[in-house]
Amino acid sequence: MKDSQIKQYASQLATKYQGQPSKQSDVVLSITLNEKALQSLMTDFKARSDFLGAVNWLPVKNVEGKKFLGALKGTTTGRKQEGRNRSIVEYGETYKTCEIDSSVQINWRLIDELEVTQENFEELFTQLTENQFILDMLKIGWHGESQATNTQAEDLSDVTKGWLAQLKEQNLANIITGGKSEGKIVLFTEKADYKNLDELATALRNKLPAEYQERNDLVFLVGAELASKANANIKGAYLYSENNGMNNLYLSNYFGGMPSIIPPQFPKKCAVVTTLKNLSIYTQKTSCHRSIYNEENTGDYINAYYRQECYVVENLNLMAALEHKNVVFENE
């Protein structure tokens, strides 16, 4: 039974991504995605995560190059007595993609069990595999700190540098690392450095240069533990059964004059002020490969997605963050 449903699933992917099912006995699917197929994959993944759909996910031509969206940092309008008013687009900051390999190994017996117990095999198999690919992408964006040759960190911090790591490395002035005590940030008590989420959000907003503080597209991203300790309410009637872990949770209140979001995979004690369009993922557009193959020796199917990819903060001045590793509460 296992072969028929897997091959049907692979055939559907092949049709979606404009490829052909493999004729090799141990390889069910092997496709290098063209540009149109990559756009189809991006659209598919974005539809499952409102956060992934809200940030920039861009196909890029080169493995490394110049950042694009953050190159124009100032205003564009004015007047000159002689000549035209111009704002220069400065392509000084760079990006560099790296190899990222996502794969799930599923035993034949589990595949058979899925076929017996579930009519919608494709959706269930997608939940087991591709949904986790998306969760991993988001986790790397927030937790990524380094790039190891052989990755081992359970929090994916050694896959590549994410958004927070880049801000810390390239614009430390925009990170709150301490309060009254160096290297320690006390929250949500009368004697705390920040008594509530509104004070914290305002402090982060004030870290931005003055020309960015009045933007109305700024958002306050807050970790689940901070929101819980501050007794913040989730907006509307929220059912856990309707959330697959890939979507934002929206808080009822504005903090620091900004809408407030708990993003998926966000560090639980962290807080960030930025615009969602200031956060990007660059994927080298000829590097993407989807495959499903049969591992006879172990009795498993492998569902894999390989690509060259990196995370980019487009404008490092347009992001401020709390060093979540330094956060403590009253009784800690």
Residues 154, 180 within the same domain:
no
Residues 142, 192 within the same domain:
no
Q: Are 174 and 207 in contact (CB under 8 A)?
A: yes
pLDDT value of position 118: 61
Residues 309, 241 within the same domain:
no
Mean pLDDT to the nearest integer, 64-79? 74
How does pLDDT run across 200-232, given as a tens digit for each residue?
999 999 999 999 999 999 999 999 999 999 887
Q: Which two tokens stand for residue 216?
A: 């109305």
* Band of pLDDT at residue 241, cut at 50, 70 and 90: very low
User: Measured between alpha carbons, how far is 295 from 327 in angstroms, rounded to an integer?
Assistant: 46
pLDDT value of position 188: 92
Q: Are 140 and 311 in contact (CB under 8 A)?
A: yes
pLDDT value of position 3: 67
> 77 lies in a domain?
no
pLDDT value of position 75: 67
> 85 lies in a domain?
no
* Band of pLDDT at residue 68, cut at 50, 70 and 90: confident
- Chain-wide mean pLDDT for the chain? 88
List the one residue out of 229, 245, 165, 242 whose CA is nearest residue 197: 229
Residues 112, 218 within the same domain:
no
Query: Domain total for the chain?
Result: 2
Res. 275: pLDDT tops 80: yes
How does pLDDT run across 8-49, given as a tens digit for each residue?
888 888 888 877 655 665 678 889 999 999 999 999 999 999
Q: Are 283 and 309 in contact (CB under 8 A)?
A: yes
Mean pLDDT to the nearest integer, 301-305? 93
Residues 115, 96 within the same domain:
yes
CATH number at residue 11: 3.30.2400
> 99 lies in a domain?
yes
List the one residue out of 281, 280, 290, 288 whose CA is nearest residue 308: 288
Residues 228, 217 within the same domain:
yes
Residues 292, 237 within the same domain:
no
Mean pLDDT to the nearest integer, 156-171? 97
Q: Are 290 and 33 in contact (CB under 8 A)?
A: yes
> 184 lies in a domain?
yes
Residues 111, 156 within the same domain:
yes
Q: Which two tokens stand for residue 172?
A: 């430390």
pLDDT value of position 245: 81
Residues 6+ positions from 191 with CB-CB distance below 8 Å: none
Residues 6+ positions from 126 with CB-CB distance below 8 Å: none
The count of other CB atoms within 10 Å of the CB of residue 2 is 19
Which residue range(s) make up the domain with 233?
173-278+318-328
* Band of pLDDT at residue 242, cut at 50, 70 and 90: low
pLDDT value of position 96: 96
Residues 157, 181 within the same domain:
no
For the chain, percent of residues with pLDDT exceeding 70: 87
Its pTM stands at 0.90
> 64 lies in a domain?
yes
CATH number at residue 248: 3.30.1930
Q: Say which residue the tokens 């009368």 belong to.
A: 190
How does pLDDT run across 111-120, given as a tens digit for each residue?
888 776 666 7
Residues 226, 301 within the same domain:
no
Residues 290, 263 within the same domain:
no
How does pLDDT run across 120-156, given as a tens digit for each residue?
777 888 888 899 999 999 999 999 999 999 999 999 9
> 261 lies in a domain?
yes
> 86 lies in a domain?
no
Residues 44, 143 within the same domain:
yes
How does pLDDT run across 74-85, given as a tens digit for each residue?
666 767 777 776
The count of other CB atoms within 10 Å of the CB of residue 279 is 26
> 79 lies in a domain?
no
